[in-house]
Homo-oligomer: A and B are copies of this chain.
Amino acid sequence: MMRTLYFQKDSKRGIKGTYNWLLEELGELEEALEGENKKGAEREFADVMAWLASLANITGVDLEKAAIEKYDSKCPKCRQSPCQCDF
């Protein structure tokens, strides 16, 4: 969906510009969380998710596949569920 909506614009903006926008959205999420604004936080979570997908699209990464390959219902470090890592 993000590809359909924004791929052309995302491509023109490029990786660095899109990454910077993602970083900015993360700052807005932090503010919303600090303000304990639940509805605002939901919108910022949506934006971070969206910009992460945009960045994945222009770098040729399948975000869902990448996530599921690393997090396959077990912790990638200790291979347990729930995670038993010592951190």
Is A83 in contact with B9, judged by CB distance below 8 angstroms?
A: yes
Contact pattern, A 54-75, Cβ under 8 Å of B = 1, otherwise 0: 0110011101001101110111
**C-alpha spacing A43/B71, complex, angstroms:** 10
How many chain copies? 2
Interface size class of A (residues with CB under 8 A): 35 or more
Is A33 in contact with B19, judged by CB distance below 8 angstroms?
A: yes
Is A15 in contact with B33, judged by CB distance below 8 angstroms?
A: yes
Q: How far is the CB of A80 from chain B (nearest CB, A)?
A: 9
For the complex with contacts A41-B61, A50-B71, 11 further pairs of A-B residues with Cβ separation under 8 Å are: A4-B82, A5-B73, A6-B75, A19-B33, A26-B26, A43-B70, A45-B61, A46-B66, A46-B69, A50-B67, A52-B52
